[in-house]
Chain A
Amino acid sequence: MSETPKPTNPEVPTPDTNKYEGLRNPALHPTDVEIRNSPDVLAMHQQIIREMSEPKDGVAPTPVWLLMFFFALIGWGGYYIAQHGGGFRADVYNENPAVLYRQAGGTADAAKPVDLMAVGKRTFNNCTQCHQVNGAGIPGAFPPLDGAERVSGPPHVLAAILLHGLHGPIQVKGQTFNGDMPAWGQLSDEEIAGVITYVRASWSNKAPEVSPALVKAMRTQTAAQAGPWTGAALDALAKEPPPAIESEAAPVTEAKTN
């Protein structure tokens, strides 16, 4: 960018620059010459007049209350990391401290919080073909789940049906159905417990949830059962007490924090 010629002020005579040493000094920048040679005192000092000196530092002390506030803040930071830092582990994704401690002490099974309703809803996709999404079944062909007596009855009977299937005439809500329900024993205890829990708590059903441990116990107890149940066998089973549950591991249902 070239120097723009400054407009001349007619009242100020143009200085005869040859008189000044500045121009004879080749190392001196044109701007310096311009300033040194200006006969206009105001123009010469304009830079000083218009501008304060370069900034300087003051030395006021740091207030003590401020430092105390900072120390409190740092203390909070340490507490927060200890509580929600997940132990700096690469495999802990939940900042909730309870999850970390269970993971550190318990087995792999116990570490995984399971939402049985979510598992059940997903597993129920296998059932909608016959029982329908609304649990109403198809009159004359497939029995309803919504409002059915057995669904809200003893849960170990439901687990037995799921594990081994059902064959022959049964009574549901005063109607007789004569069909086949396949066995779902290939599903995991968790999935069977989930789908039973889901069915028992959906539509107009209000029965409590069922633990995977009960399904596990039922699977062991009915291991000898070959082929599907009949309606009469189920009625007999309903009169028996539910199987003893081995471990104390209650189903862990936890709202997702993420």
Chain B
Amino acid sequence: MATLAVPNKPEALESQELLTRVQTDRSCRQTVLIYYTSAVFWLLLGSVLAILASLKMHIPGFLADWEWLTFGRVRPAHLNSMIYGWAVMAAIGTLLWLQARMGRVRLPLPLLLPVSGLVWNVGVAYGMIAILIGYSSSTEWLEFPVPVLGFFGFCLVLIIYATLVMMMRRKVHHTYVSQWYIYGGVLWFPFLYVSALILTQAPHINGTVRAIANWWFAHNVLGLWLTPIGLASAYYFIPKVTGRPVHSYHLSLLGFWTLALFYNWAGTHHLVGGPIPAWVITVGIVGSMMMFIPVTTVAINHHMTMLGQFHHLRTSPTLRFVVFGAMSYTLVSFHGSLAALRSFSEVAHFTHHTIAHSHLGVYCFFTMMMFGAMYYIFPRILRREWSSAPLIKVHFWTTAIGSIVYVVGLGWAGWVQGSMMNNPDIPFMDVVKYTIPWLESRSVAGTLMSVGHFVFAYLVWRMLRGDGADQQGPTLLTTARSLRKQRERKARARERAREVA
């Protein structure tokens, strides 16, 4: 950077910005590529495990003879593959690229960060095998055995270091809202992970304290780690693609600090009715309801930024996924706040409703957000284009429709299931029988989503091979040419209709 003698003229400034952009993207190449491709691998594995687990819910004998693939192992294996393999690795890749881009700095640690990607993979692989052969810690969201902390801790230290170094070296003094969320998430998550591991796995800590620590952690992984990275992506990509500034700096501020203040309290609403002091649950419920503040703020901010720009959804793959994710964020957060209330929990707790809710959060919000980010970042770091717009459309529609069917079907079934369970006159087997068609619909929806994942993996593979290398300009879902063709097709159809009439 400094070696380039750039004359201080306005037009030269633009080329300076261009060069910086190319350099930061280039510096991210190895690291982000390792994190992203590994994330896609774990996404595929997690999808397969998810389908197995889903089928077992309505075909109990399916693969039940092989102990590796019994429900009690496949289900946590799916969860951990998706969280620590897919979601966290995609989040790390995205946050490193975003930090470099927004600070206009190169990614530091050009050797250690790619190595950390490999180490993270070793950690996830070790944990997954441990779960499948029966050495799960049986604490939800923390099923990996404790030694995995060694692998993850090594990577997290490097990532914290890289993030802070990029903050100190940043060329732009003003920090953008996405950067706050990234600093927050990067500093919160390691603390959460280590505290939760100690509080749930240490031998001399017993009883309900473990449950409290467990749900404090499980909720905060989503709220203080995946949500900040997801929101940082939304705050970056929506103005970036539309070319409009974010609606309000004041709302951004309010949203960030209230998230930081309230989310941490929310986790204990999972224990409504549990044998823990009433105030712990009450505070959790109030914390959850207070989440209306950051969520409303962020929703207004994103919506007002998008206002008048919705036509971009026709063309930009990134924006389509990101806006789907942002809308799901609003929905899942409002639903989560209300679901924390005791009267709601009495019905929905311990039913499929909770499963639908968690997929609305981790899938419809976070995963779709990461797809959007990947559609933007892959072409920048590789300097190639996506090879097929139709396949991107297939990816979007399979995942969007699949996840909506999943969430709506299971959410409804879970509510009815909870109402039936609260009625002592209904035999338990009737409740189970009622859910079966909905569990089958979940398998169909999950298969549809997995088809989308395999299409996406195929696109990534073709990008790695360089299939879109000779293409000029970005791959858009709708181009001037495709719009013209569409108009011609419609005109022809109208003409044919007139002839028939």
**Residues 46-68 (chain A) with a chain B CB within 8 angstroms:** 46-63, 66
Partner of A89, one of B240, B247, B279: B279
Question: Counting CB contacts under 8 A, is B3 at the interface?
Answer: yes
* Known contacts A73-B289, A73-B292, A85-B283, A92 near B277 by CB under 8 Å: yes
Assess the A1–B30 pair: CB atoms within 8 A. Answer: yes
Chain B, residues 266-300, CB within 8 Å of chain A (1/0): the string is: 00000001011111011101100110110011001
Chain A interface SS verdict (over half):
loop
A56 touches B239 (CB 8 A): yes
Would you call B300 and A66 a contact (CB within 8 A)?
yes
- Inter-chain CA distance A88–B305, complex, in Å, is 43
**How many residues of chain B get a CB closer than 8 Å to chain A's CBs?**
62
A81 with B283, Cβ < 8 A, contacts A4-B466, A7-B469, A28-B3 known: yes
A95 touches B282 (CB 8 A): yes
Write out the residue numbers on chain A whose beta carbons fall within 8 Å of the beta carbon of B236.
Answer: 55
Q: A28-B4, A87-B279 are in contact. Are A50 and B473 (CB under 8 A)?
A: yes
In the docked arrangement, what's the CA distance between A211 and B249, Å? 66
Please give, as numbers and ranges, the residues of chain B lying within 8 Å of A61 by CB-CB distance. 248, 250
The stretch that binds A, out of B15-23, B77-85, B124-132, B393-401, is B15-23
Task: Find B247's partner among A7, A47, A60 (CB 8 Å cutoff).
Answer: A60
* Closest B residue, CB atoms, query A70: B293
Judge if B474 is at the interface, Cβ distance under 8 Å: yes
**B281: chain A residues within 8 A (beta carbon):** 95
In the complex, chain A residues whose CB is within 8 Å of the CB of B22: 31-32, 35, 47
Identity of the chain A residue whose Cβ is nearest the Cβ of B235 in the assembled complex: A55
Given contacts A31-B23, A48-B18, A92-B277, contact A84 B30 (CB under 8 A): no
A66 touches B176 (CB 8 A): no
For A24-35 the 0/1 string (1 means CB < 8 A from B) is 010111011001
CB distance from A111 to the nearest CB of B (A): 14
Q: Which of A27, A48, A62 contacts B3 (CB 8 A)?
A: A27
Within 8 A of A (CB), among B436-492: 466, 469-470, 472-474
A94 to B278, CA, bound (A): 6
Q: Judging by beta carbons under 8 Å apart, are A74 and B290 in contact?
A: yes
Contacts of A58 in B (CB 8 A): 244-249, 305
Q: Which residues of B contact A88 (CB under 8 A)?
A: 279
CB pair B249–A54 under 8 Å, yes or no, is: no
In contact, A29 and B26 (Cβ under 8 angstroms): yes
CB of A220 within 8 Å of the partner chain: no
Chain B residue contacts of A84, Cβ below 8 A = 278, 282, 285, 342
Let me know if A60 and B277 touch, CB within 8 A. Answer: no
A203 within 8 A of B: no
Inter-subunit contact B293/A54 (CB<8 Å)? no
> Which residues of chain B in 15-37 are interfacial with respect to chain A, using CB atoms and an 8 Å cutoff?
17-19, 21-23, 26, 29-30, 33
| 11 residue pairs A–B, Cβ–Cβ below 8 Å | A53-B243, A55-B239, A56-B245, A59-B249, A60-B304, A62-B254, A66-B296, A73-B293, A76-B289, A77-B286, A90-B277
Q: Please give the residue numbers on chain B whose beta carbons come within 8 Å of chain A beta carbons, in ascending order.
A: 3-4, 14, 17-19, 21-23, 26, 29-30, 33, 101-102, 176-178, 235-236, 239-252, 254, 273, 275-279, 281-283, 285-286, 289-290, 292-293, 296-297, 300, 304-305, 342, 466, 469-470, 472-474
Q: When A and B form their complex, which 3 residue pairs have the shortest distance between CB atoms, in order from nearest?
A: A86-B278, A55-B239, A52-B243
Chain A residues packing against B (C-beta within 8 Å)? 1, 4, 6-7, 9, 25, 27-29, 31-32, 35, 42, 45-63, 66, 69-70, 73-74, 76-77, 80-81, 84-95, 258
